[in-house]
Amino acid sequence: MSAQCIKAIISGRVQGVFFRESTRKQAVQLGIRGHAINLSDGCVEVLACGTEDTINQLIQWLHQGPEYARVTDVKTHPIEIDIPSGFYTR
């Protein structure tokens, strides 16, 4: 299966609620490569590469996030990038 890569911008109460670390754990479980970073506007950016199925599962999860998050919007679009390995936060 070929890799599918996406960029997602998640809005709402997504900083200070372990969103990035929870996303990292979810991505590792799914075998997804990429990163989750806080943006200066209060959103979180996720770059993710995996199979179509695992990417769709991650996108579904991003709409909910961890327990204390309150996601109001998830914008995703495909990107042309290949992330070599791992999933990290910063």
Sketch out the chain's domains with CATH numbers.
Answer: 4-84 (3.30.70.100)
Determine which one of 24, 33, 38, 56 is catalytic: 38
pLDDT of residue 4: 92
For the packed helices 52-62 and 19-30, what is the interaxial angle rounded to 10 degrees? 160
pLDDT digits (tens, 9 = 90+) for 14-26: 999 999 999 999 9
| Side chain identity at residue 62, one-letter code | L
Determine which one of 20, 24, 33, 70 is catalytic: 20
Q: Can you list the residues of the chain whose pLDDT is less than 70?
A: 1, 82
pTM, whole model, 2 decimals?
0.91
Q: Where do the DSSP E strands lie in the chain? A: 4-13, 33-38, 44-50, 70-78, 87-89
33 part of the active site: no
70 part of the active site: no
CA dihedral 38, 42, 43, 47 (to 10 degrees): -20
